[in-house]
Amino acid sequence: MLSIDCPWCGSRDQSEFSYGGEAHIVRPKEPEKLSDEDWGDYLFNRKNTKGRFEEQWCHTAGCRRWFNAVRDSQSYKIEAVYKIGEQSPDGIPE
């Protein structure tokens, strides 16, 4: 089981958290203007990165707040955690 550093509560067992998948997906401002292809891309297509990956976690059984993490999806090592609204360590804007 992973040990995850909640930015608010500190290090806790993974079983307290729920996974939220890829981070930094921007919801289209005017969805009605999108083509079916663009809407489908937003809804379903994912990076599914092998290696260093920005992703969302929620401390469901703790403070119940969402945050982002950079984790290596091959070694599973968590490299960094940062709050929603902050830039990722690799410079992906909020």
Partner 1 sequence: MKNKYSIFSLVRNAVSYHQNWSQAWRSPDPKPAYDAIIVGGGGHGLATAYYLAKEHSITRVAVLEKGWIGGGNTGRNTTIVRSNYLWDEAAHLYEKSLKLWEGLSQELNYNVMFSQRGVMNLGHTLQDMRDIVRRSSANQLNGIDSEVLTPAQIKNIEPTINISQQARYPILGASFQPRGGVARHDAVAWGFARGADRYGVDVIQNCEVTGIRQQNGSVTGVDTTRGFIAAPKVGVVAAGHSSLLADYAGLRMPIESHPLQALVSEPLKPVLNTVIMSNAVHGYISQSDKGELVVGAGIDSYIGYGQRGSYSVIEGNIAAIVELFPNFSRVKMLRQWGGIVDVCPDACPIISLTPVKGLYFNCGWGTGGFKATPGSGWVFAYTIARNTPHGLNAAFDLNRFYTGALIDEHGAAGVAH
One-letter amino acid at 27 equals R
d(CA 2, CA 78): 9
Q: Which of 4, 6, 23, 70 binds Zn ion (CB under 5 A)?
A: 6
CB of 70 to partner 1, least distance (A): 13
Binding residues for partner 1, rule: CB under 8 A, are 1-2, 14-15, 18-19, 21, 36-37, 39-41, 43-50, 53, 55, 71, 73-76
Determine phi and psi for 10, rounding to 5 degrees: 90, -160
Partner whose footprint covers residue 71, from Zn ion, partner 1, none (CB < 5 to 8 Å by kind): partner 1
Partner whose footprint covers residue 6, from partner 1, Zn ion, none (CB < 5 to 8 Å by kind): Zn ion
d(CA 5, CA 28): 30
Question: Angle at CA 19, nearest 5°, toward 15 and 25?
Answer: 165
